[in-house]
Amino acid sequence: MMFSRISTTLHPKAASARSLLIVARNSSQSTASGSPALNASLQQEQPVALRKSENSLNEDTPYNLCFLRHGQSTWNRDNRFIGWTDTPLTDDGVLEARVAGQILAESGLLFDEVHTSLLRRSIRTTNLVLMETGQEYIPVHKSWRLNERNYGDLVGKNKKEVVMKYGVDKVKSWRRGWDDPPPPMDSSHPYWPGKDPRYRMMLDQIPPGESLKMTVERAGKYWDEVIAPSLKEGKTVLVVGHENNLRSMIKRLEGICDERIINLSLPRAVPLAYRLDENLKPLGRSDGKMDEATGFLRADWLGGDDAVKAILDRDHKQVYDTKIKHNLEKGTKSRAWRNWTEATLGANGSGLNGNMNGNKRGMKLD
């Protein structure tokens, strides 16, 4: 079983469903315990001897990290630039977060602590995930340094309308580029974060707009001072956040160059699991390749690379394809997605009846 390289200590919910994970996608090569194919596979999957962690609920590998973007918020649904605006989860976003929690429960990963932002779409996603995994008891640390990047004067605007005004290349550079901050907002902007009481003691630190480079600087401080020390203690860490803030940490972790980072996007609510060495460098996937969904990552999408591809394709069309006039997160397609996630959770919410692996339910998101 490939995911055994991440953890062999199973959550009680996981014992009957580990075969659902994408990271077990090659298990069909080994049809019976003790078979030559299984023995050869196990030998190939255990190239590194890792010490047992005494500080983590996961006993076999000491350096486990998982990233998770929040579920759909109201402005995700409406295709608007969000930034630090505190938009809540939609009903679909709640379902997405619960499915993510179910996937994590079945993976066998047990977390020692969670880190998230001050924004409720991430905080509620965290709470829902911990409810599904049965780990409400672990510490949850919140910091503004894990907030989404501030999109400046773009905040509140419809993304596709901005594309029609400024062009695909410029908007992609603002959204995904390295050192191209959007037009700044000032204190008169209707969504200026300084109006929010949670930032009253740090008004001088609120950025008027941020590039990814600027986001790396503030998130990097939190990584260096808080997350990295926990990982080095052997704790298994979950980071629930926002696309650009997570991209900023993944860029450092993977060593992605400034010019190529524009091509990395992340889906909502699909866990991304890393195994790290003692220097907190990715050990890589069991197949020795980069992920198939983005081509950049030495980590496992626990929902399956194919499902991630479908989500990212939909998200790209939602923003940049000006020939598509309807909102891809509303209407018939959205109802189909909701029906699929509800079926995945099961009618009584008691477990995963479906399989996120490879999007095999035939769910099309475009």
- Catalogue the active-site residues: 70, 148
Cα separation, 201 vs 178, in Å, equals 29
The sign of the torsion formed by the CA atoms of 297, 127, 103, 336 equals negative
Residues 6 or more apart in contact with residue 188 via CB below 8 angstroms: none
Tell me the pairing of strands 140-142 and 64-69: unpaired
Query: Which SS3 state, helix, strand or coil, does residue 73 take?
Result: strand
Amino acid at 243: E
Angle between helices 168-176 and 159-166 (to 10 degrees): 130
Cα separation, 54 vs 137, in Å, equals 19
Cα separation, 27 vs 94, in Å, equals 31
Cα–chain-centroid distance for residue 244?
Answer: 10
Please say whether the beta carbons of 95 and 342 come within 8 A.
yes
- Residue 73: φ, ψ to 5°: -105, 175
Name the nearest CA neighbour of 113 among 72, 141, 82.
Answer: 141
Please say whether the beta carbons of 64 and 56 come within 8 A.
yes
| Strand order across the 113-116 sheet | 140-142, 113-116, 237-241, 64-69, 272-275, 300-301
Cα separation, 352 vs 20, in Å, equals 9
* Strand spans (E) along the chain: 64-69, 113-116, 140-142, 237-241, 272-275, 300-301
Tell me the pairing of strands 140-142 and 113-116: parallel
Query: Which SS3 state, helix, strand or coil, does residue 208 take?
Result: coil
